[in-house]
Structure formats: structure tokens, C-alpha cells
């Protein structure tokens, strides 16, 4: 019918109504019988991600987990690179698992962003796999199962329970909070809570990012490393001074102007995605750390952020409160495109709103996830 067309071509067509044969039917308006279709011969594209890990294995999917409750996740799109129009549309992730227990159904809607949270039962043993084979609405798929984990034996350390807090049970960021705490990248409060709905200061954020970068207090500078990192509101006696100076020296966090860092200011949603973008641009930090930009550990932040950010292909953002030209405009679109951050609604990102500690943990978990 459409001879000579190729993949991606858009075909306009008209549906003709035979009024004699359909005399008893209501004849639709002309606007109702004009339509188009797109020739779609290409499978969805995207990525899937393992939990954050420093395990260095030959096959990227054959990683053990640090904690027995973890999120496997990914982003897929039925778009063709720079083409803004969807083809037939994303349909299903077609997830599956094999092993000594059944996996729960993925959380959330079955479309472009997959969140699949799992907990190993105490009886888990032997080889176990997770896999996916995303498909679009007309049946194109990746051509076979792609694995998060392929027939890898469960080990006793994987069954160890996650760190727990008094205020995380049932929270939508519980899995990410507990997992990162198990890795030692975040910590709770003296009363046993994590403060999942509490805010973060910029000083606290500098410490969290540099801990992910492999720094310990003993490794931090004891004085400003440069004039650009000398802030009038950061003194050597402050607990956060070394963290702030290191984050500045690495190019992750900058001052607010006027010689100020704003250590007590609340970290905003626009600022956190900008920090992620700065880390990507600067190439990460300490070799072998969770922020390693040298490629020892390919993460969403140092790999997919580059691949998909420039054109926002996976999930184009259309937030009414993210103006063109703001310092966070591109970082918001990158973070949304690769699934690191979601909007606060379908049309808003709320870039000036303080980020909550639970939100921070989920963003960090996904940014550091292995791909």
C-alpha cells in the first residue's frame, strides 16, 4: 500500500466513507477521517540500570547487590534519536526472572520509566536472573532478553538486611534510602530516623557528594584550595569546611556570588540537578569512587547523562516553571530525560523548591546506578 516508503516516514491518508453502504450510519466530519501513520520498523531504545556498586566484574550485569532490597530500573523510548515525534509508542518492558523465588510485579505504570523493586527472601539460593525485552505498540523489541543479572548465584552477604530507619517504612524512597545507607553514603539521625521528609543544606550536600566521591575527613583540605574557593561564610573551624572546599575544588559546587557559599541555605531541586551536571562535565573525581568519571564504573551519571542529555531524547521535558536560560535549565532536562529526577507534577519541576532528603537519596541512587 505504501510502496517506496522507509522507516520514520509519516504517511497522510484519508478514510473514504461509502454513504450508500453506510446509509444508516452517521457520516463523520471531514476532520475525523483525515489521519496519518508513521512507519515504525525500529525497536524502542534506552537503558536499564543496576544498583550502585563498586564491584568490578567482566559482565556489567553480573553484579551482586549490597543490600537485599534494591531497585532495578530503566528508561526506554519509542523515539528515533532527534525525531521529536513518537513512532508507534512504547508498550511494555516485558520483564521476567528465573531462580528460586518469584519476583513481584514492577512498580508504577508500564511505560517509559521502569521501577522494579525486589527483596531477596531468606530462602533465596542458587542462580538467579532478572531480564527485560522492551517492545513498542506494533511488536518491535530489543531482539532478546537483556539482563540486569544473568544466572549469578545468590551469596550470603546479599541476604543481609538493609539499614533501617523509623520513618522510612512505606515511603516511596524507602528502597533507595536504605540501600545508600547500607553503602555508607548517607546516614540517619541519632533518634533512629532518617528525616526522609526533611530538607538538606548546601553544606550537608557538599559532604554527601564528596563521600560518594571516595573522600574521608582525613583526605579533605584544611584551607581553601584557591581564591575561587575562599568563602567569607566558611571558616576552618566549621565541620563542613573541608567538604565545601573539596566540592568547590572539584567543580561540583560553586559559590552564590559575592564571596558567599551559603552553607546554611537549603539545597534546591534546581541546584541538585546542576551539581549532577557539574560532576558529569568535570568527569567525576577520585578513580574507583562512585563518581568515577574515568569509566571504571559506568554509571547513569557519567555515561547515559552524556549519551542522551544533549537532545533530551528519552523523556523530553516540558515544565512550565523551567525558563530558557536559567542555570538549571539543561540540567533539569538531562536529569528528567534519563530518569534521575521526576517533576513535581506533569507540568512542573519546582526548581526553587528545597529538595527533601528522601528525594535526594532517590536521585543519588539513580545517578550512581551502574549501566
Q: Work out the pLDDT band at 42, boundaries 50, 70, 90.
A: confident
Q: Work out the pLDDT band at 177, boundaries 50, 70, 90.
A: very high
pTM of structure: 0.87
Helix (H) or strand (E) holding 177: helix 174-183
Q: Which residue carries 531462580 as its cell?
A: 99
- 360's grid cell: 535526594
Residue 295: strand pairing partners:
none
Q: Which residues contact 102 (CB under 8 A, 6 or more apart)?
A: none
Q: Give the number of residues written for the chain.
A: 371
Helix (H) or strand (E) holding 269: helix 269-282
Q: Which residues contact 280 (CB under 8 A, 6 or more apart)?
A: 293, 301, 302, 305, 306, 309, 334
pLDDT higher than threshold 60 for residue 17: no
> What is the residue extent of each domain of the chain?
1-39, 45-159, 174-367
- 209's grid cell: 557528594
pLDDT higher than threshold 90 for residue 198: yes
Higher-pLDDT residue of 243 and 85 is 243
Q: Work out the pLDDT band at 109, boundaries 50, 70, 90.
A: very low
Amino acid at each position: 500500500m505504501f510502496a517506496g516508503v522507509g522507516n520514520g516516514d509519516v504517511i497522510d491518508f484519508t478514510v473514504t466513507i461509502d454513504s450508500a453502504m453506510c446509509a444508516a450510519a452517521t457520516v463523520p466530519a471531514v476532520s475525523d477521517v483525515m489521519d496519518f501513520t508513521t512507519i515504525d520498523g525500529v525497536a524502542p531504545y534506552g537503558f536499564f540500570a543496576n544498583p550502585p556498586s563498586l564491584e568490578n566484574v567482566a559482565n556489567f550485569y553480573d553484579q551482586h547487590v549490597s543490600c537485599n532490597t534494591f531497585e532495578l530500573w530503566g528508561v526506554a523510548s519509542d523515539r528515533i534519536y532527534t525525531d521529536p515525534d513518537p513512532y508507534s509508542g512504547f508498550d511494555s518492558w516485558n520483564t521476567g526472572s528465573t531462580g528460586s523465588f518469584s519476583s513481584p510485579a514492577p512498580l508504577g505504570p508500564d511505560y517509559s520509566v521502569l521501577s522494579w523493586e525486589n527483596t531477596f527472601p531468606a530462602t533465596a539460593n542458587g542462580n538467579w536472573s532478572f531480564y527485560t525485552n522492551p517492545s513498542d505498540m506494533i511488536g518491535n523489541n530489543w531482539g532478546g532478553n537483556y539482563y540486569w543479572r544473568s544466572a549469578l548465584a545468590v551469596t550470603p552477604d546479599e541476604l543481609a538486611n538493609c539499614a533501617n530507619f523509623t520513618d522510612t517504612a512505606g515511603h516511596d524512597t524507602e528502597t533507595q534510602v536504605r540501600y545508600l545507607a547500607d553503602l555508607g553514603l548517607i546516614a540517619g539521625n541519632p533518634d533512629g530516623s532518617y528525616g526522609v521528609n526533611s530538607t538538606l543544606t548546601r553544606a550537608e550536600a557538599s559532604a554527601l557528594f564528596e563521600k560518594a566521591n571516595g573522600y574521608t575527613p582525613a583526605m579533605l583540605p584544611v584551607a581553601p584550595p584557591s581564591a575561587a574557593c575562599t568563602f567569607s561564610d566558611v571558616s576552618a573551624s566549621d565541620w563542613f569546611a573541608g567538604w565545601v572546599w573539596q566540592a568547590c575544588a572539584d567543580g561540583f559546587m560553586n559559590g552564590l556570588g559575592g564571596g558567599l557559599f551559603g552553607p546554611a541555605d537549603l539545597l534546591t531541586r534546581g541546584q541538585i540537578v546542576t551539581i549532577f551536571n557539574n560532576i558529569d562535565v568535570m568527569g567525576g573525581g577520585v578513580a574507583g569512587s562512585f563518581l568515577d568519571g574515568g569509566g571504571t564504573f559506568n554509571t547513569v551519571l557519567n555515561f547515559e547523562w552524556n549519551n542522551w542529555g544533549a537532545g533530551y531524547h528519552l523523556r523530553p521535558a516540558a515544565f512550565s516553571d523551567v525558563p530558557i536560560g536559567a542555570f538549571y535549565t539543561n540540567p533539569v532536562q538531562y536529569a528528567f530525560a534519563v530518569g534521575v529526577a521526576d517533576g513535581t507534577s506533569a507540568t512542573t519541576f519546582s526548581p526553587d523548591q528545597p529538595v527533601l532528603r528522601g528525594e535526594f537519596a532517590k536521585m543519588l541512587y539513580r545517578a550512581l546506578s551502574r549501566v
